[in-house]
Chain A
Amino acid sequence: MTASDQILQQHGLTRDEYQRILEMLGREPTVTELGIFSVMWSEHCSYKSSRVHLRKLPTTGPRVLQGPGENAGAVDIGDGLAAVFKIESHNHPSFIEPYQGAATGVGGIIRDIFTMGARPIALLNSLRFGPLEDPLVRRTFSGVVRGIAGYGNSIGIPTVGGEIAFDESYTGNPLVNVFCLGIAKADEIIKAAASGAGNAVYYVGAKTGRDGIHGATMASAEFDEASAEKRPAVQVGDPFMEKLLLEACLEVMKTDTLVGIQDMGAAGLTCSTAEMGSRGGAGIAIDVSLVPQRETGMTPYEIMLSESQERMLLVVKQGREAEVERIFEKWDLHAVRIGEVTTDGRLLVKHHGDVVADIPARCLTDEAPVYQRPMAEPAYLAEARRLDLSSLGPPPPPADVFRRLLASPGIASKRWVYRQYDHMVRTNTLVVPGMGAGVVRVKETNRALALSTDGNARFVYLDPFQGAQLAVAEAARNVACAGGEPIGATNCLNFGNPERPEIMWQFGQAVEGISAACRALGIPITGGNVSLYNETDGRGVLPTPVLGVVGLVEDASKIARRAFAHDGDTIVLLGVGRGELGGSEYLKVIHGLVRGVPPVLDLPAEAALQRLLVAGIAAGLIRSAHDCAEGGVAVTLAECCFDTGLGATIDVPTIEAAAGAMAAVSTLFGESASRVIVSVEPSRAAELVRLAAGAGVPAAIVGRVGGDRIRVTIGRETALDESLADAERIWSEAIGAYFDRERAIA
């Protein structure tokens, strides 16, 4: 067929790309082929804008068992076991239909994990929304939370952590990034590659319907007013079906009947057949008329492009088909043979025996277009990075700032959210959500895994390179605060339209930053996801790289928690405050500004700090640890007091650089990096300070746990003296209040 401009536009293909298709095929494509190319060459599947940059990430290390390129990455955690994990976005569907968009995001990442032969044991999610004052945002927020809960709770995988941030830029384009981790035997990881001519290709799971056709293309375009009409491109999830698939697939994987397995996520049958064939250097021939269908009259185009959820593609060893079919029958699932592996490296699609597509598989994967898109420093930067504190006028009293920050949804307790998530199922959760890193034990070993997803988009907006480095450092620091040695990471890169040079510049800088920080901290990136075109009506979201870091705790009985553990313990502040307010929660909440330069990050110092934390916690010296992030040392101290009823008093030195009217607020609420509040038994405080000195980590005994107030003095002068109970009430009730109010009005 000769494609008109309109047809190409509908398929998200450029004229140049169409020309390449003609050259590759040596003829005009059939309509099914055009559909196949369109989804496989979409940004979502091909990473055509991001690939050249992603190559810079460090992906190797002594513990890496599987780097990028498979369904998920894997790292060695000892005892012959592997942690298999990845993070993925489901941003676009979650805006159009919050519940199903988020639910199917959870379903998709879980499939990626069990496809590798791993039993999923933990979920985390990083969410971004507009301000909760907006009723539409509240609808999106509660829908996304319910969707995550609805899917994760039903399938029985605990949601053990994550984070949520708010900014106007996410109002029309929320971010829903879901992280899943599973455990597999290190030598039994299963790959998604097809090989062995004549081996059967099986389809199993939900029937194929017309839902989600062009979901991948949707995720590769900006939003506009017409986006609400794209609802049919969002799929509907069925966690019960996925639970059956999960159990049945894990049972099949215990046998040695499989050659390879892949889930059908974005671009459905097209992507799974093309990628499995391409990875194994083989071809795949299928007849789509054999695919179980939910609706009548579906065309090969529709069957190949459907994104119906909860479907898997398996390649089974010859002669073992009956065994596989029997296991699926047990779970009331029907594995259907739809084709076989071939030797010619082509994706051959038939419909009732007639050929409807015949494409070399590598044209769809390795030979898909790769763009070196132009990059240019955005015009906003020079102005946004200028911060003149004296122009802000006298700051409000510290007590007012403190209360407003505690009530700010970015800082306030997220219990309203995680109470809706089953965070205890599977009885592994040692540290529940809302307390920094989530910690799960690994049964049948002494080990545990500390997991954290982080990313401060304001910092990235103000300096993509530095902000991305800070995201890596924060996620790693959070797992170290629980006692976990960071051993692997996955990233989800949420940016705007890559066809704009300034967005591409943000992206390129951020990848460089992640790369530099991961190298310095010795953390390999084993996979991840890129989500571009996060824009509504031409306005992009804050550039938002989210890092998910896995930390290994050697002794699960020795983990540190955020909250102070004992009355009378000594409080030690690790790291140095510089009073940095650039990009801070203080500036945003109090002055409505996203301005200045992000905090300085000294990577060797950060690495030393993290090593000290891991060693100090393993030795039983550090009894609690909490990273100083949004809201600075004052908010961090308060968070250490919450949930325990134990107050605290600390004294911090005056920061010389931050003199003048802003001295107190910058000392209390500045967000300098690489700082952690820890508590130790008083008799061992000196030991910790000595250990820190030896490790080159600045450490100061600053105060004591106890009482019913949160007190901070600066150079012995009282700067903050608040009731713990009042502070905790403000912090606990802030998010729920947005919804209670709504109910009262209704």
Chain B
Amino acid sequence: MKFAVVVFPGSNCDHDAYHAARHVLGQDAAFVWHKETSLGGADVVVLPGGFAHGDYLRTGAIARFSPIMREVQQFADRGGPVLGICNGFQVLLEAGLLPGAMLRNRSVKFQCEHVFVKVEQIDTPFTNACRPGQILRIPIAHGEGNYYAEPGVIERLEKNRQVIFRYTTADGAMMPEANPNGSAANIAGICNDARNVVGLMPHPERACELALGSADGYVVLESAVKAVTHGMFAAAR
């Protein structure tokens, strides 16, 4: 199966996602330049982390207008699995593929560190290989990861089980001190109504090999492989 890693000008975790998909999971992977108008027959689309367009104006605000985003939108509408990591999550928010917005971290500083996130739902293409409630130790690296949405939106996300990842302690407790950036309801990642589009601020692709300090993120990408090979989201192509 094939991963498409979209490259915006200023993306800088594109190589990391590619490396994880290709060299750690052993899947096919290809970079797709943002000016292209085809996803090249990919089964899974990854919008990687970075600073698309320098994060000027607002994070993700310019990237949503790239030609490839029309394809991503259509791919998502057909039920294709789309994963937005960090800046990719911000792009999905700006593109309206996911609800909400990002504020600056509560610390008003960039933060790079390992955090614990709990897998809240496993019926998505990026969590189906997880155990329910599994705790993942994966890194964050962002200055604007403080997830915000209107209370009504948060309520709906909770009701529809669209909160997929939440910041917790190592034992899964949802405490304020486990929340690294001030996100509403400790939200680290969410999905859309159809559950095929997932965005998260932490970087699972940076935590796929023990040598890097954690391999807990492997299961997120492995889920995508499982979802595609088992035909769970076959309608996309």
Q: Name A's B-contacting residues (CB within 8 A).
A: 146, 149-150, 153-156, 238-241, 243-244, 330-332, 418-427, 429-430, 432, 441, 443, 556-557
Is B54 close to A, CB under 8 A? yes
Q: Are A425 and B141 in contact (CB under 8 A)?
A: yes
Q: Which residues of A contact B109 (CB under 8 A)?
A: 146, 419-420
Is B15 close to A, CB under 8 A? yes
Q: Are B13 and A240 in contact (CB under 8 A)?
A: no
Q: Which of B19, B33, B51, B113 interacts with A427 by CB under 8 Å?
A: B19
Task: Tell me the B169-199 residues at the A interface (CB within 8 Å).
Answer: none
Task: Tell me the B90-123 residues at the A interface (CB within 8 Å).
Answer: 109-113
Which one of A153, A330, A424 has the highest number of Cβ atoms from chain B below 10 Å of its Cβ? A424
Residue of B nearest to A241 (CB): B54
Is B40 close to A, CB under 8 A? no
Q: Are A154 and B16 in contact (CB under 8 A)?
A: no
Residue of B nearest to A238 (CB): B54
Q: Name B's A-contacting residues (CB within 8 A).
A: 9-10, 12-13, 15-16, 19-20, 23, 33, 35, 49-51, 53-56, 109-113, 139, 141, 143, 203, 205-206, 208-209, 211-213
Q: Which of B9, B16, B203, B208 interacts with A243 by CB under 8 Å?
A: B9
Q: Are B10 and A243 in contact (CB under 8 A)?
A: yes
Residue of B nearest to A155 (CB): B12
Q: Are B10 and A423 in contact (CB under 8 A)?
A: no
Q: Which residues of A contact B50 (CB under 8 A)?
A: 156
Q: Which residues of B contact A423 (CB under 8 A)?
A: 112
CB of A15 to closest CB in B, whole Å: 47
Cα distance A239–B50 in the bound complex, in angstroms:
12
Besides the known contacts A240-B10, A243-B51, 17 further A-B residue pairs in the complex with CB atoms under 8 A apart = A150-B110, A153-B51, A156-B51, A239-B54, A240-B55, A243-B10, A330-B35, A331-B9, A423-B112, A424-B112, A424-B139, A425-B16, A425-B141, A427-B19, A427-B206, A427-B209, A556-B211
Q: Which residues of B contact A429 (CB under 8 A)?
A: 212
Q: Are A153 and B141 in contact (CB under 8 A)?
A: yes
Q: Are A244 and B112 in contact (CB under 8 A)?
A: no
Q: Which residues of A contact B143 (CB under 8 A)?
A: 153
CB of A123 to closest CB in B, whole Å: 13
Q: Are A427 and B9 in contact (CB under 8 A)?
A: no
Residue of A nearest to B13 (CB): A425
Q: Are A240 and B141 in contact (CB under 8 A)?
A: no
Q: Are A420 and B111 in contact (CB under 8 A)?
A: yes
Q: Which residues of A contact B33 (CB under 8 A)?
A: 330
Please list 16 pairs of residues, one from A and one from B, whose beta carbons are closer than 8 Å in the complex, sorted by A's number. A146-B109, A153-B51, A153-B112, A153-B141, A154-B10, A239-B51, A241-B54, A244-B9, A332-B9, A419-B112, A420-B110, A421-B110, A425-B12, A425-B141, A427-B19, A427-B209
Cα distance A226–B101 in the bound complex, in angstroms:
45
Q: Are A426 and B15 in contact (CB under 8 A)?
A: yes
Q: Are B15 and A419 in contact (CB under 8 A)?
A: no
Q: Which residues of B contact A240 (CB under 8 A)?
A: 9-10, 51, 53-56
Q: Are B141 and A422 in contact (CB under 8 A)?
A: yes
Cα distance A148–B111 in the bound complex, in angstroms:
13
Cα distance A156–B14 in the bound complex, in angstroms:
10
Q: Which residues of A contact B205 (CB under 8 A)?
A: 427
Residue of B nearest to A149 (CB): B110
Q: Which residues of B contact A156 (CB under 8 A)?
A: 12-13, 50-51
Q: Which residues of A contact B9 (CB under 8 A)?
A: 240, 243-244, 331-332
Cα distance A154–B110 in the bound complex, in angstroms:
11
Cα distance A244–B10 in the bound complex, in angstroms:
7
CB of B103 to closest CB in A, whole Å: 18
Cα distance A330–B7 in the bound complex, in angstroms:
12
A420-B51 contact given A243-B12, A427-B16, A443-B19, CB 8 Å threshold: no
6 closest pairs, A vs B, by CB?
A156-B12, A240-B54, A154-B51, A422-B141, A427-B16, A422-B112
* Interface class of chain B by DSSP: mixed
Cα distance A210–B92 in the bound complex, in angstroms:
39
Q: Which of B15, B56, B110, B213 interacts with A153 by CB under 8 Å?
A: B110
Which one of A238, A241, A426, A443 has the highest number of Cβ atoms from chain B below 10 Å of its Cβ? A426
Residue of A nearest to B14 (CB): A156
Q: Are B211 and A430 in contact (CB under 8 A)?
A: yes
Q: Which residues of B contact A441 (CB under 8 A)?
A: 211
Q: Which residues of A contact B10 (CB under 8 A)?
A: 154, 240, 243-244
Cα distance A641–B124 in the bound complex, in angstroms:
42
Residue of B nearest to A240 (CB): B54
Which one of B9, B56, B209, B213 has the highest number of Cβ atoms from chain A below 10 Å of its Cβ? B9
Cα distance A150–B56 in the bound complex, in angstroms:
12
Residue of B nearest to A145 (CB): B109
Q: Which residues of B contact A556 (CB under 8 A)?
A: 211
Q: Which residues of A contact B56 (CB under 8 A)?
A: 240
Q: Which residues of A contact B55 (CB under 8 A)?
A: 154, 240
A557-B211 contact given A156-B13, A427-B206, CB 8 Å threshold: yes
CB of A643 to closest CB in B, whole Å: 12
Q: Which of B12, B113, B212 interacts with A419 by CB under 8 Å?
A: B113
CB of A449 to closest CB in B, whole Å: 14
Q: Which of A154, A331, A421, A424 interacts with B206 by CB under 8 Å?
A: A424
Cα distance A332–B113 in the bound complex, in angstroms:
33
Cα distance A478–B23 in the bound complex, in angstroms:
31
Cα distance A47–B214 in the bound complex, in angstroms:
47
Q: Which of A154, A239, A244, A430 interacts with B212 by CB under 8 Å?
A: A430
Q: Which residues of A contact B51 (CB under 8 A)?
A: 153-154, 156, 239-240, 243
Q: Which residues of B contact A244 (CB under 8 A)?
A: 9-10
Which one of B19, B49, B203, B211 has the highest number of Cβ atoms from chain A below 10 Å of its Cβ? B211
Residue of A nearest to B54 (CB): A240
Q: Which residues of A contact B113 (CB under 8 A)?
A: 419
Q: Which residues of B contact A420 (CB under 8 A)?
A: 109-112
CB of B227 to closest CB in A, whole Å: 23
Cα distance A65–B112 in the bound complex, in angstroms:
35
Cα distance A65–B141 in the bound complex, in angstroms:
35
CB of B21 to closest CB in A, whole Å: 12
CB of B60 to closest CB in A, whole Å: 14
Which one of A154, A155, A238, A557 has the highest number of Cβ atoms from chain B below 10 Å of its Cβ? A154
CB of A10 to closest CB in B, whole Å: 36
Residue of B nearest to A433 (CB): B112
Q: Which residues of A contact B23 (CB under 8 A)?
A: 443
Residue of B nearest to A156 (CB): B12
Residue of B nearest to A243 (CB): B10
CB of A202 to closest CB in B, whole Å: 20
Cα distance A330–B34 in the bound complex, in angstroms:
10
Q: Which residues of B contact A332 (CB under 8 A)?
A: 9
Residue of A nearest to B113 (CB): A419
Q: Which residues of B contact A331 (CB under 8 A)?
A: 9
Cα distance A557–B211 in the bound complex, in angstroms:
8
A424-B141 contact given A243-B51, A332-B9, CB 8 Å threshold: yes
CB of B117 to closest CB in A, whole Å: 16
Q: Are B212 and A424 in contact (CB under 8 A)?
A: yes
Q: Which residues of A contact B20 (CB under 8 A)?
A: 427
CB of B177 to closest CB in A, whole Å: 15
Which one of B54, B109, B112 has the highest number of Cβ atoms from chain A below 10 Å of its Cβ? B112
Cα distance A556–B209 in the bound complex, in angstroms:
13
Q: Which residues of A contact B16 (CB under 8 A)?
A: 425-427
CB of B29 to closest CB in A, whole Å: 14
Cα distance A422–B110 in the bound complex, in angstroms:
8
CB of B10 to closest CB in A, whole Å: 5
Cα distance A243–B33 in the bound complex, in angstroms:
15
Cα distance A202–B155 in the bound complex, in angstroms:
57
Cα distance A551–B224 in the bound complex, in angstroms:
39
CB of B159 to closest CB in A, whole Å: 35
Cα distance A244–B20 in the bound complex, in angstroms:
23
CB of A246 to closest CB in B, whole Å: 10
Q: Which residues of A contact B112 (CB under 8 A)?
A: 153, 418-424
Residue of A nearest to B9 (CB): A244
Residue of B nearest to A333 (CB): B9
CB of A617 to closest CB in B, whole Å: 15
Cα distance A443–B49 in the bound complex, in angstroms:
20
Cα distance A427–B206 in the bound complex, in angstroms:
6
